[in-house]
Each structure stands twice: as C-alpha cells, then as structure tokens.
Amino acid sequence: MSNKYDAKISEAKWQAYRDEQKTYAFDLQNTEKPIFSIDTPPPTVSGKLHIGHISSFTQAELIARYKRMTGYNVFYPMGYDDNGIPTEILVEKELGINIKDIERQDFVQKCLEVNVKYREIYKNLWKKTGLSVDRTRSYATISLEVQQIAQQEFLKLYNKGNIVCKEFPALRCTKNQTTIAQAETEDKEFEEFFNDIAFTLEDGTELVIATTRPEMISSCKAVFAHPDDERYQKYFGKMITTPLGDTVPLLADDKAKIDKGTGLVMCCSYGDEVDVYRFQKHKLEPKIIIDRYGRMQNTNTEIDGLKIEEARKKIMEILEAKGVVRKRTPITQSKQISERGKVPVEIIPVRQWFVNLLDKKDTLLKLNNDMQWHPEFMKKRSDDWIENLQWDRNISRSRKF
C-alpha cells in the first residue's frame, strides 16, 4: 500500500465500486421505504459541459443524498435531451456541415452518431463529479421509447381538445428557420431610434406617429390612440394616410399609451404581440411583409428582398427623401430574442400545432398555491411566469432532427 494518496487512482476505484454495487440504484422491489422522486431536467446535448451545468444539479444532489440518509427510496434518473435545435447546431459545428445541404435521413443519422459520443462524455463527467444519479435508469429523448411516450401524450392532449392545429401568428427564429415557444426566448437590450413620422388626415392635417420599426409601415392597417387622449379624440373614426400612400382608419384602443412617443401608434402585421391582439380585436386584415427567412416582401418598395435591419435603414432613407421624418430619438429598447439563435424573433402566421395554455392560467396558479415551495420565493417566479404568458405554446418545429 502506497504511503502517498493518489486521487486519480482512489477516485477511479470508488467510482467503479459504486457502479458495481449499484449504490444509487432505485429499488423497485422495496415496498417498505417511502419513495422520493426527483425529476431532473435532462441536460441538452449541445456541446461540452462546464461548471455552470454541474452547479445547476447541486440542489437536487443535496436533496437526493439527504432523503436517502433519512430512509427514503430515491428515484433519481439521469437523461439526455438529445434532439432539437441545440443538437442540430452541435452536429453542424462538429462535422463542419450545413443542415440545408444534406438530406434529412442522412442528417438524422449523423445526429445519432454524434449523440452517442456526447452521451458517453456526459455520463463520464457525471461519474467523476460523484453525482448520485441512478445510471441504470438513464434515458435519451431521441430514443424510440421516449418518442412513443411523447406521441401517446400528444394524442391524449389532442383527444381532450388541449392541442389544436391552426394558422396563427407565431414567434419565429429567422436564423434557425423555425417557430419557437415563448419559453424559448429571452430579453436583450438594443440601441434603437424612436422615429417620428408624419401621417396625413384627409383634410391635410398632419399627425405624427413614433415607431422603432419604420420598415413595417407597408403593413400598417390602422393607427391607434388611447380613448382618453384628448389630443386625438376628435379624429377617431377618420381616415389617415401613411407616407407610402395607404389609407387606414384612426381608432381608439386602450392599450395605446398616452405618454409613449406621440401617443399615436401604427398597427402592423406584426410588429409585436400587441399588434396581434389589435388585429383580432378590431378585425383588421393583415398584410404579411416579412417572409419566414426574415426578408421583406410585398411592400412594393426598394426594401423588398432585404433583411430586416437593412430594410430599416433603407426605408428611413426613403422617408427622409419624402420629407416626412420629423425627429429621431435614440433609445435603449428591450426585445425578445431566440434563446438559441440569439436574434430578435419575428411574428409570422404559420399553420402549427399549439398546446392551449392561456385558458389554463387560473388553474396553473391554483396548483402553485396548493404546493409547498422550497425556497418560497420560487413560487413568486412561477406565478409571474404564468401571469405573463401571452401565447399558447407552439410545439411545432420546422427542423430535421
């Protein structure tokens, strides 16, 4: 026996011992101990893990060990979320290929091969960190077994009327070429301009709207002001002409903000989720001017075919030449970006599958109240997330894997 402790030899020895003895295995036959289950979110197979991944399992790990020591039969599996956009991006980087240049069947096969490699990397890392998961019960979301479970749940929800297929404005990542759910977005601040642009009433009266998205003017179908805004009350119901020659109604809407910009806001299809709400509420006919690739279309101007950022600069040149730009004010604006693509999301109507969520917000909040939360402040986060839901969950993905 060596007098000097060798960590590498000792760790390898006890890692192997725990596996051989199935130290952390869930005992399905044990009916005497109460069961404590831990539903760990499986790590996404998207590249090499880092300290942040490890630390995110610390709380669950502490609870698992505590429950074992206090007499519980702990069910603590570990899985791998190994399909979807993150895995596709990993495969493209790993193999130096472009998803657009390869047939779906071939790409799926390459994804499966890369998954095998990274699952083994992840498994060895969990072993080295001493994570006390039950490695005899690992799972992968791309496996046939998990796919069948997902399909069965889909059918259950569908038969209950909780899943619908409809054409509806959906959040789209133009970089990854797919629709996404609200939960797959995050906020990021951008330096933008509030552009004051002159519109004209039929009698020649000039009214100025303020917008950060001048490239959307071609899809403007109405101009709104708050019903209590005395500056514009006398104009409600009149027609107003955009700088590009389209005539639209000027209407009252309680979501317009008196103290934002000039108080007048154009309603376009679709600049944001409020536009979606207004189009439905006021029964407006949308004109879609952004295609699924994030390029402008159907504007009958020089911005057709341009990417959104390019189109914004170009339309401002056009409006400046027309003499309708009254002011430009620099602002810092928070926008939703796609979690994976890191680009601002667009709202584009597509026929997709949606899980009904908005009609269940009260039920979800009640369930939150019925649970014990540790720590308690996490309940507030969950409540806020539910209350701020603005979309039914889009579960369609226009991808290959």
pLDDT confidence bin for 164, thresholds 50/70/90: very high
Residue 376 confidence class, pLDDT cut points 50, 70, 90: very high
Residue 254 has pLDDT above 70, yes or no: yes
Q: Is the pLDDT of residue 205 over 70?
A: yes
Residue with tokens 């189109």: 311
pLDDT tens for 272-306 read 989 999 998 999 999 999 998 899 999 999 999 99
The average pLDDT across 304-311 equals 96
Contacts of the segment 378-381: beta carbons below 8 A, 24+ positions apart: none
Q: What is the pLDDT of residue 47?
A: 82
How high is the pLDDT of residue 83? 84
> Is the model's pLDDT at 398 over the cut of 80?
no
Q: Judge whether residue 242 has pLDDT over 80.
A: yes
Contact present, 42 and 79 (Cβ < 8 Å): yes
pTM passes above 0.85:
no
Alpha-carbon radius of gyration of the chain: 27
Distance CA 120, CA 45 (A): 11
pLDDT at 232: 96
How many residues comprise the chain?
401
pLDDT value at 124 more than 90: no
Greatest mean pLDDT among 5-9, 138-142, 157-161, 395-399: 157-161
pLDDT over 90 at 76, yes or no: yes
Q: Is the pLDDT of residue 184 over 90?
A: no
Which pLDDT score is estimated for 101?
Answer: 85
Reported confidence tier of residue 1, pLDDT bands at 50, 70, 90: low
pLDDT over threshold 80, residue 397: no
What is the chain's mean pLDDT, rounded?
Answer: 92
Q: Is 77 exposed, middle or buried (0-12, 13-18, 19+ CB in 10 A)?
A: middle
Q: How confident is the model at residue 63 (pLDDT cuts 50, 70, 90)?
A: very high
CB atoms within 10 A of CB 259: 7
Q: How confident is the model at residue 51 (pLDDT cuts 50, 70, 90)?
A: confident
Identify the burial level of 293 via C-beta atoms within 10 angstroms of its C-beta, where 0-12 means exposed, 13-18 middle and 19 or more buried. Answer: exposed
Angle between helices 361-370 and 377-387 (to 10 degrees): 170
Domains of the chain, earliest start first:
7-142 (3.40.50.620), 164-184+344-394 (no CATH), 187-338 (3.90.740.10)
- Per residue in 24-49, pLDDT (tens digit) is 999 999 999 999 999 888 888 888 88
Residue 27 CB: number of other CB atoms within 10 A?
14
Q: What are phi and psi of 34, to 5 degrees?
A: -70, 145
Is residue 118 classed exposed, middle or buried when 0-12, 13-18 and 19+ CB atoms within 10 A define those classes?
Answer: buried
> Using one digit for the tens of pLDDT, what is the confidence trace for 328-362?
999 999 999 998 889 999 999 988 899 999 999 99
Question: Above 70 in pLDDT, residue 2?
Answer: no
